[in-house]
Structures are given as C-alpha cells and as structure tokens.
C-alpha cells in the first residue's frame, strides 16, 4: 500500500506499473483559453445601486404602515444637517465637516440616527430634504449612511420653498 491506495500486487499479471502520465498539454490549453475568456469578459469596476424614491411617489409599499409612525426627516444643506422626528427637531444643527479627501463626515448624524432607530425601531423610512447647492456625492453619502443605520426606505425631495 502506498498513500492508502491498493497497488494491485496480487493476481496473475505480475507487477504492472500503476503510474499514469497525465498529459498536461490539453490542460494548459484549457487554462489558457479560460484565462483569455475571463479576462475579456471581466468587469473591473464594481458598481452597485442605492435605491431611493422621490418624496410623494407611490413606489413605497410600506408607506401606509409607516404613516402611523413619526416621520424622520433629514434636512441636508450645503453647510449643515438638521434631523427632525415628526415636527420636532432633534438636537442642534450639525455643521458639515469634511476629511482631507473632501468627503462629508457623518459620525454625529450616524449617532443621532442610531438613537432614533432605538426609539422607533419600526420606522424604516427617511425623507432627505436637499437644498439645491448640495453636491450629488454628499447626498449619496447621507443616503448610504441612512441605509447602513437601517433606514432602508429613503426618499429624496427638494427643500420646500
């Protein structure tokens, strides 16, 4: 026995070599073709989507259920962020700060949203009211943060003038 395999030493035929030579050429050919195919069809940029709805749209199936819960609104301005639950504003306005890459820092917003989620765990809807001058990148950062905190039904609306 070698390596747990029966070498087949018994029988009439005497000692017949059990070593088989694997032909590597077709194997390498297959590998080369597979690599070529995968490289040609590869998508190098990983793109995803953030699902939102326009405020007032009829696409949200949870809207009726959420009507009984206090509505969470986040006002996104160029300089600051305000969060309100129902008609009451939660805390002071949070001034927008950015890191060295220019990305909006949302630690305080995240903290507030977590507190709200603890108080109203059933509410998963958030309305982001956005001012005209806000950059798309900042809006996406806020939506991403909200979804990460469990507010999955995000709707976006302009600030009512």
Partner 1 sequence: MAIQVPGKRYGARLARSHFFSGHHSSAKKSTSADLLITPLVDMFVIIVLFLIANFSATGEILNMTKDVQLPSASHIKELELAPVVMISATDVIMNGVAVARVSDLSREDYLSIPALEERLREEKKQTEELHIAAADGQAFTGDVNIQGHKEIPFKVLKRVMFSCQNAGYGNLNFAVLDSGSRPDGTKTAER
The count of chain residues that interact with partner 1, using the rule CB under 8 A, is: 44
CB atoms within 10 A of CB 128: 22
What's the CA angle centered on 140, arms 151 and 48, to 5 degrees?
85
Among residues 80, 111, 122, 137, the one that binds partner 1 under rule CB under 8 A: 137
Neighbour-count burial of 82, counting CB atoms closer than 10 A to its CB (0-12 exposed, 13-18 middle, 19+ buried): middle
Give the C-alpha separation, 21 to 12, whole Å: 24
Binding string, 77-116, against partner 1, x = CB under 8 A?
A: --------------------------x--x----------
String marking each residue 34-63 x if it binds partner 1 according to CB under 8 A = xx--xx-xxx-xxxxxxxxxx--xxx----
Stretch that binds partner 1, among 8-16, 20-28, 79-87, 88-96 (CB under 8 A): 20-28
Among 15, 16, 132, 160, the residue binding partner 1 under the rule CB under 8 A is: 132
Closest CA to 136 of 59, 76, 54, 53: 76
Residue position matching structure tokens 């939102």 = 52
Residue nearer to partner 1 on the CB measure, 86 or 144: 144
Pair type for strands 153-158 and 125-130: parallel
Residue 160 in the binding site for partner 1 (CB under 8 A) = no
Rounded CA separation 143/159 (Å): 16
User: Using CB under 8 A as the criterion, which residues of the chain lie in contact with partner 1 when the complex forms?
Assistant: 24, 27-28, 31-32, 34-35, 38-39, 41-43, 45-54, 57-59, 103, 106, 130-137, 139-141, 143-144, 147-148, 156, 158
């Amino acid at each position: 026995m070698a390596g747990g395999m029966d070498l087949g030493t018994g029988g009439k035929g005497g000692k017949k070599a059990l070593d088989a030579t694997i032909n590597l050429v077709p194997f390498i050919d297959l590998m080369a073709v597979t690599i070529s195919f995968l490289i040609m069809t590869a998508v190098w940029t990983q793109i995803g989507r953030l699902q939102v709805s326009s405020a007032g749209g009829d696409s949200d199936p949870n809207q009726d259920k959420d009507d009984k819960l206090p509505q969470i609104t986040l006002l996104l301005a160029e300089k600051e962020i305000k969060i309100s639950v129902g008609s009451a504003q939660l805390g002071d306005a949070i001034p927008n700060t950015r890191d060295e890459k220019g990305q909006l820092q949302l630690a305080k917003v995240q903290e507030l949203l977590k507190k709200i989620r603890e108080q109203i765990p059933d509410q998963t809807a958030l309305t982001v009211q956005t001012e005209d001058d806000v950059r798309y990148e900042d809006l996406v950062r806020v939506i991403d943060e909200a979804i990460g905190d469990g507010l999955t039904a995000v709707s976006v609306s302009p600030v009512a003038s």
